[in-house]
Amino acid sequence: MIYRTGKEWQAARNKRVALFGMSGLGKTFLSSMLRETGDWFHYSVDYRIGTRYMGERITDNFKRHAMQVPLLRELLMSDSVYIASNITFENLAPLSTYLGKPGDPAQGGLDFDEYMKRQNQHRAAEIAAMLDTGHFIERAQDIYGYGHFVCDTSGSVCEVVDPEDADDPVLTDMESRMLLVWIKGSEEHVAELVRRFDRAPKPMYYQPEFLHDAWREYAAEHAGPVNPDAFIRWTYARALAHRQPRYAAMARRGITVTAEEVAAVRNASDFIQLVAHAIDRKE
């Protein structure tokens, strides 16, 4: 780890962390709180994916749908309207909408092959966005003068790396630049995330092997056209269980804090103290 003790972390002039874990446990909450102090640069991997690497695909998808409406088609063909994605750190809906959900097109689903194509695009984009972190650390210091840096990773970061490979290029790059911080949820948190997802299912990125297995198993258990929302709900809880050991393996390269501890953080000082305790208790 780049900080060997809690004292060393607290004394560091340039604090750099990468937060990872399940979506909904506090990564963006902490990152936004730190950003608002004016001392921390907030690098959102999902935002980078949705702008730099997937932005054109997202916008083209909007245009593809708009071209099906005669009025909008006429305006687009004459360059009379402009269609763009308004993705933000807090609103990643344009990216989620592009990724879509596999299933019956009549129910808003994507053909499975097209879905997998977009999943593969996301994988490449996420790896590239993670490897951009070093550039943004330098940019944050050289251009804006930020002393501290927080990388707000995607919930699917554990799917695009091999946590058991000591030479994994993405993890090796991350841990050489930042302290890896796992926000670990309890079984109660997992249950609540599943309930929340069930109320409003959204697209996610999954490992190809996991997704192919889930698709085959679901098709074997459910006759007829696949309802996209039903499939995503069915898959989500399995995905959380699949990710837990991968997160845990990543955390061996860094530290672990609990979602309960994160919920108690009220300011940057609380966060710095929490990380210091987590470093020391790992020893």
CATH number at residue 238: 3.40.50.300
CA angle 130, 253, 242 (to 5 degrees): 75
Residue 282 lies in a domain: no
Residue 32 lies in a domain: yes
Give the pLDDT score at 191.
83
Averaged pLDDT score across all residues of the chain: 93
Where the chain has pLDDT below 70, the residues are: 201-203, 283
Of the candidates 275, 192, 205, 191, which has an alpha carbon nearest to the alpha carbon of residue 239? 205
Residue 83 lies in a domain: yes
**Which structural domain range is residue 250 located in?**
13-276
Residue 133 lies in a domain: yes
pTM score of the predicted model: 0.92
Residue 5 lies in a domain: no
Number of domains forming the structure of the chain: 1
Residue 281 lies in a domain: no
Residue 28 lies in a domain: yes
Residue 113 lies in a domain: yes
Per the DSSP assignment, residues forming a β-bridge with 179 are 17
Give the pLDDT score at 203.
65
